[in-house]
Amino acid sequence: MDISVCIGSACHLKGSYDVIKEFQELLKEYKLEDKITLKGAFCLNHCTEAVSTKINDGEVISMNVDKVKSLLKKVAEENKWNI
């Protein structure tokens, strides 16, 4: 599974770096590094909802640092991964 975080200018200003850092830390903590590949993406055309993030080719999600944990928990639950 790929999770792409937009690093375009609007999202960068809204903190994509921090969102990516949070993802990296939690992927490690939950041992999901072999299941989820974190990627940087260029503008996903949802700049007003920065920080834009998407799972595989799914819909663009408006992400912030506080939402990373619940997103990962939801993904793990849907895939029946024990974290």
Is the dihedral angle over the CA atoms 80, 82, 51, 64 positive or is it negative?
positive
Identity of the residue, 43 or 76, whose beta carbon is nearer to ligand FES in the bound complex: 43
What gap in Å lies between CA 49 and CA 67, rounded to an integer? 14
Identity of the residue, 7 or 27, whose beta carbon is nearer to ligand FES in the bound complex: 7
What gap in Å lies between CA 29 and CA 50, rounded to an integer? 25
Identity of the residue, 42 or 77, whose beta carbon is nearer to ligand FES in the bound complex: 42
User: What radius of gyration do the chain's Cα atoms show?
Assistant: 12
CB of 4 vs ligand FES, minimal distance in Å: 10
Task: Report helix, strand or coil for 77.
Answer: helix
CB of 48 vs ligand FES, minimal distance in Å: 8
In the bound state, the residue with its beta carbon closest to ligand FES is: 8
CB of 40 vs ligand FES, minimal distance in Å: 11
